[in-house]
Amino acid sequence: MILTKAAITEAIATGEISIEPFDAARLSPNAYDWRLGETLRICDGYLDAARPTTFTETAIPATGTLLEPGVLYLGVTYEKTGSETYAQMLNGDRTTGSLGIWVHVSAPLGHVGHAIRWTLEIRATKPVRIYPRMTFGKLIFLATAGDRASYQHTGGKYAATEGIDISRLYTELAGGPR
């Protein structure tokens, strides 16, 4: 079940959902309109699942940054979100999609207990300029069924993420660095 604007507002008031910084004007009927943070990591060269990804990190200036097709950018949400009660689903939206920006297609689920700024996978189909703190997508909250276990207490490899994080798949692959 997806929470409505009224249910999200109530859950924020009771502390069941946290959004920092929170702006009530960013609530829509079934979601919260999240913003792009102020930093990008540009993945260098080819990627190898058995090795940590090398990257160049850059601040997004107020004048914007031009995204180029064929480049994998990792970004971060401006908002830090979390809930020990609800799961979260982070998606791009029509406004970014109609600019040819694909954002966070592969990992939209935030488990119960997920409390971080989200790392974003960003790709552009055409050259497009983006800006820090621009609306970049929608976050929905989902009620769960059954016993809940907090992601923060499961020992998951991304539980302690504080900002943009590269893939840690290499920690699981034989022969890769550990």
Q: What residues are annotated to the active site?
A: 121
CB-based contacts of 44: which residues, under 8 Å, 6+ apart? 53, 54, 55, 56
AA letter at 52 = P
83 three-state secondary structure: coil
Backbone φ and ψ of 83, nearest 5°: -165, 135
Work out the end-to-end distance of the chain between its first and last CA atoms, rounded to an integer number of angstroms.
Answer: 39
Which DSSP category does 61 fall into?
A: -
Residue with token string 């055409």: 126
Q: What's the CA gap between 39 and 56, in Å, rounded?
A: 11
Q: What's the CA gap between 95 and 91, in Å, rounded?
A: 12
